[in-house]
Amino acid sequence: MKDKFEILMVGLNRERAYAKYKASATYTFAISDGRAKTHADVIFSDGGLEIIEQKGKEAKAAARLALQRLLVSGCDPFEAQIFIQIPYRQAELFSKYGNFFHEFPSA
């Protein structure tokens, strides 16, 4: 990620669990490079939000980390609107390790 990007959370749309549906949330972030500003949405669905919160972790931190990783990979946030959906398995890894991946010890 270029150091010049500023990322601020500007919104949270959270839907509670209802009947057979699990809780979901969309975190909206403003991204600025000093001249231009755009938005990105990070979405948790299918129980991802719940597993993170049940393990005492912050979904906001997970959402921000996912966005930062995308920007580090070279994604230009001003080229197209960013929508990131965090799959349940990735949310589960974050809930366990505080990250989206787990490195296994070398043998």
pLDDT per residue as tens digits for the range 47-100: 898 899 999 999 999 999 999 999 988 999 999 999 999 989 899 999 988 877
Q: What is the DSSP letter of 95?
A: H
Measure Cα distances from 76 to 7, 18, 70, 79 in Å. Answer: 14, 36, 9, 5
Is 98 within 8 Å of 104 (Cβ atoms)? no
- pLDDT higher than 90, residue 38: yes
Positions of E strands within 4-104: 6-15, 24-32, 37-44, 82-86
Which residue type sits at 65?
A: L
More reliable by pLDDT, 23 or 54: 54
